[in-house]
Amino acid sequence: MFGALSVINSFLPALKKARGRIVQISTWTATVPLPFNGPSGASKAAMEVFAAVYRAELKSFGIDVVVAAAGNMRTGGPAKTAAALKRAAEGMTPEQRELYGQSFGSFTAALNAMQNSGLDSAAAARRVIELAEQVPAPSRAPVGADAGEMLRVVREKSDAEQDALRLQLVGLS
């Protein structure tokens, strides 16, 4: 989050001069956070808050701010994520394993499956370029069908329905 803010702030003078556009990459888990995935969702949610603030603060300079909410993607990330999840599971104390082992295992399997079945990176990049060039600029737009579905869920479903979906997605329902 701090790195992205630093880059945005460094380019503000040039963006003001060019009346440019900021495209902030996020993820649907910023709005539909998953169990055991709080830090990742929270960091993206924080960036979305900054995007909304920048959108308001920079409007008078003609600078648009777009949040590109990505869905599941097939990149190098799934292997890294799987390895990190394995390390987390192996690092659990016996008490943690007793309390969370089964749930964490379900989450791990579900997350690995989601990431391995997502959008390919070239298609995602094309969508981000499309958003960067779209007139008028959307304030938020999905990158991938699953992201579109999750953004719809946030608009249309109650908190209780979102909670049920969140548990279902990670195999905990």
- pTM assigned to the model: 0.85
In contact, 139 and 69? CB cutoff 8 Å = no
State the amino acid at position 6 in one-letter form: S
Q: How many domains does the chain have?
A: 1
60: its two tokens: 């008078």
When the pLDDT of each residue in the chain is averaged and rounded to a whole number, the result is 92
Percent of the chain with pLDDT over 70: 98
pLDDT band at 85; cut points 50, 70, 90 = confident
Q: Assign residue 145 the CATH number of its domain.
A: 3.40.50.720
75: its two tokens: 């990149």
Query: Per-residue pLDDT averaged across 129-151, rounded?
Result: 95
Measured CA to CA, the distance from residue 73 to residue 143 in angstroms comes to 9
Measured CA to CA, the distance from residue 122 to residue 32 in angstroms comes to 25
Query: Per-residue pLDDT averaged across 67-81, rounded?
Result: 81
**Domain that includes residue 49, residue range:** 2-75+119-169
36 within some domain: yes
